[in-house]
Chains A and B, each alone.
Chain A
Amino acid sequence: MSIDMKQFHSVFFDESQEHLDEMEHLLLDLDTQNPDVEQLNTIFRAAHSVKGGSGIFGFDALGSVTHIMESLLDNVRQGKLAINPQMVDLFLSSVDVLKGILDSYKSNSEIDWPSANKICERLEAVTHHKEVATESDIEGFGFFAEAAINDIEDGFGFFSDPVLPSAEDAYGFFDDAAPSELKLSATKKSKKIVSKKIAASPAENSESANLKAADLKPVIIPKEHASEDISRKDTVVDSGQKDIPRNPAVKPKSQEAVSVENSSIRVDVTKVDQLINLVGEIVITQSMLNLIGQSIDGALGEKFQSVAAELERNTREIQEAVMSIRMLPVSFVFNRFPRVVRDLSTKLGKSIDLIIEGGDTELDKGLTEKLVDPLTHLVRNSIDHGIESLEVRADRNKNPTGTVVLKAAQQGGSIVISISDDGGGLSRTKILAKAQEKNIPVAENPSDADVWQLIFAPGFSTADQITDVSGRGVGLDVVKRNVQSLGGRIDIESQEGIGATFTIRLPLTLAIVDGMCVSVGDQTFIIPLVNIIESMQPLEKDIKTLAGDDQLLLVRDQYWPILPLYKAMQLEPNFKEAHKGIAVLIEANKHKFALFVDALVGQQQVVIKSLEQHYKRVQGVAGATIMGDGSVALILDVESLAVTANPHTLLHAS
Chain B
Amino acid sequence: MSEVAVLQKDQEFLTFTLGEENYALDILTVKEIRGYESVTKIANAPPFIKGVINLRGDIVPIVDLRIKFNVGTATYDEFTIVIVLHIHNRIVGIVVDGVSDVVSLNKDQLRPPPNFGVAFDSRYLLGLATINEQMIILVDINELISSDEMGLFSTSDKISE
* A and B form one complex: yes
B41 at the A interface (CB under 8 A):
yes
B5 at the A interface (CB under 8 A):
no
B54 adjacent to A630 (CB under 8 Å): yes
B43 adjacent to A620 (CB under 8 Å): yes
B59 at the A interface (CB under 8 A):
yes
A340 at the B interface (CB under 8 A):
no
8 Å CB contacts to B: which residues of A257-287? 277-278, 280-281
Pick the interface stretch among B9-17, B94-102, B113-121, B152-160: B152-160
Q: Which residues of A are at the interface with B, using a C-beta cutoff of 8 A?
A: 277-278, 280-281, 523, 568-571, 609-621, 624, 626, 630-634
A618 adjacent to B92 (CB under 8 Å): no
A614 adjacent to B44 (CB under 8 Å): no
Complex CA gap A617/B52 in Å reads: 13
Partner of B44, one of A280, A611, A613, A618: A618
B52 adjacent to A570 (CB under 8 Å): no
B60 adjacent to A614 (CB under 8 Å): yes
B59 adjacent to A570 (CB under 8 Å): no
Q: Which residues of B are at the interface with A, using a C-beta cutoff of 8 A?
A: 38-45, 51-54, 56-61, 90-92, 151-154, 157
Complex CA gap A355/B112 in Å reads: 74
Partner of A523, one of B40, B45, B59, B92: B40
Complex CA gap A281/B90 in Å reads: 19
Partner of B57, one of A281, A571, A615: A281
Complex CA gap A613/B43 in Å reads: 17
Query: 6 interchain pairs (CB within 8 A)?
Result: A277-B58, A280-B57, A281-B56, A621-B42, A621-B43, A633-B40
A615 adjacent to B54 (CB under 8 Å): no
The answer to whether residues A632 and B44 also contact, given A277-B57, A281-B57, A614-B91 and a CB cut-off of 8 A, is: no
Complex CA gap A578/B33 in Å reads: 43
A632 adjacent to B40 (CB under 8 Å): yes
Which residues on the A side are within 8 Å of B39 (C-beta)?
632
Distance between A624 CB and nearest chain B CB, rounded to angstroms: 5
Complex CA gap A557/B58 in Å reads: 45
Partner of A632, one of B43, B52, B152: B52
Q: A626 — nearest CB in chain B belongs to which residue?
A: B54
Which residues on the B side are within 8 Å of A620 (C-beta)?
43
The answer to whether residues A614 and B40 also contact, given A277-B58, A281-B56, A632-B54 and a CB cut-off of 8 A, is: no
Which residues on the B side are within 8 Å of A624 (C-beta)?
40, 52, 59
B42 adjacent to A634 (CB under 8 Å): yes
Complex CA gap A288/B154 in Å reads: 35
The answer to whether residues A570 and B57 also contact, given A613-B90, A624-B52 and a CB cut-off of 8 A, is: no
User: What would 10 more interface pairs be, CB under 8 Å, given A612-B154, A615-B42?
Assistant: A277-B56, A280-B57, A568-B43, A570-B41, A570-B43, A571-B41, A609-B57, A615-B59, A631-B40, A634-B42
Which residues on the A side are within 8 Å of B60 (C-beta)?
614-615
Which residues on the B side are within 8 Å of A621 (C-beta)?
42-43
Q: A572 — nearest CB in chain B belongs to which residue?
A: B41
Distance between A46 CB and nearest chain B CB, rounded to angstroms: 32
Which residues on the B side are within 8 Å of A631 (C-beta)?
38, 40, 54
Complex CA gap A610/B90 in Å reads: 12
Distance between A300 CB and nearest chain B CB, rounded to angstroms: 29
Complex CA gap A633/B61 in Å reads: 13
Complex CA gap A615/B62 in Å reads: 10
Which residues on the A side are within 8 Å of B38 (C-beta)?
631
B40 adjacent to A569 (CB under 8 Å): no
- Between B39, B44, B152, the greatest number of chain A beta carbons within 10 A of the residue's beta carbon is seen for B44
Q: B55 — nearest CB in chain A belongs to which residue?
A: A614
Complex CA gap A475/B119 in Å reads: 56
Which residues on the B side are within 8 Å of A632 (C-beta)?
39-40, 51-54, 59
The answer to whether residues A613 and B57 also contact, given A624-B40, A634-B42 and a CB cut-off of 8 A, is: no
Distance between B24 CB and nearest chain A CB, rounded to angstroms: 24
The answer to whether residues A615 and B52 also contact, given A610-B59, A631-B38, A632-B59 and a CB cut-off of 8 A, is: yes
Which residues on the B side are within 8 Å of A570 (C-beta)?
41, 43-44
Q: B44 — nearest CB in chain A belongs to which residue?
A: A619
Which residues on the B side are within 8 Å of A617 (C-beta)?
154
Which residues on the A side are within 8 Å of B92 (C-beta)?
614
A609 adjacent to B59 (CB under 8 Å): yes
Leading 7 A-B pairs by shortest Cβ distance: A277-B57, A616-B154, A632-B40, A615-B61, A569-B43, A624-B59, A281-B57
Complex CA gap A570/B43 in Å reads: 6
Complex CA gap A456/B77 in Å reads: 55
B90 adjacent to A614 (CB under 8 Å): yes
Distance between B115 CB and nearest chain A CB, rounded to angstroms: 31
Which residues on the B side are within 8 Å of A571 (C-beta)?
41, 43
B56 adjacent to A278 (CB under 8 Å): yes
B40 adjacent to A634 (CB under 8 Å): yes
Complex CA gap A633/B53 in Å reads: 9
A614 adjacent to B59 (CB under 8 Å): yes
Complex CA gap A175/B143 in Å reads: 44
Which residues on the B side are within 8 Å of A614 (C-beta)?
58-61, 90-92
- Between B39, B41, B45, B90, the greatest number of chain A beta carbons within 10 A of the residue's beta carbon is seen for B41
Which residues on the B side are within 8 Å of A523 (C-beta)?
40-41
Q: A609 — nearest CB in chain B belongs to which residue?
A: B59
The answer to whether residues A613 and B154 also contact, given A571-B41, A619-B44, A621-B43 and a CB cut-off of 8 A, is: no
Complex CA gap A150/B43 in Å reads: 64
Complex CA gap A639/B42 in Å reads: 18
A613 adjacent to B58 (CB under 8 Å): yes
Q: A570 — nearest CB in chain B belongs to which residue?
A: B43
Which residues on the B side are within 8 Å of A569 (C-beta)?
41, 43
Partner of B52, one of A281, A568, A611, A619: A611
Which residues on the B side are within 8 Å of A277 (C-beta)?
56-58
Q: A607 — nearest CB in chain B belongs to which residue?
A: B57
Complex CA gap A277/B54 in Å reads: 11
Distance between A58 CB and nearest chain B CB, rounded to angstroms: 24
Distance between A527 CB and nearest chain B CB, rounded to angstroms: 15
A619 adjacent to B40 (CB under 8 Å): no
Which residues on the B side are within 8 Å of A633 (C-beta)?
40
A618 adjacent to B42 (CB under 8 Å): yes
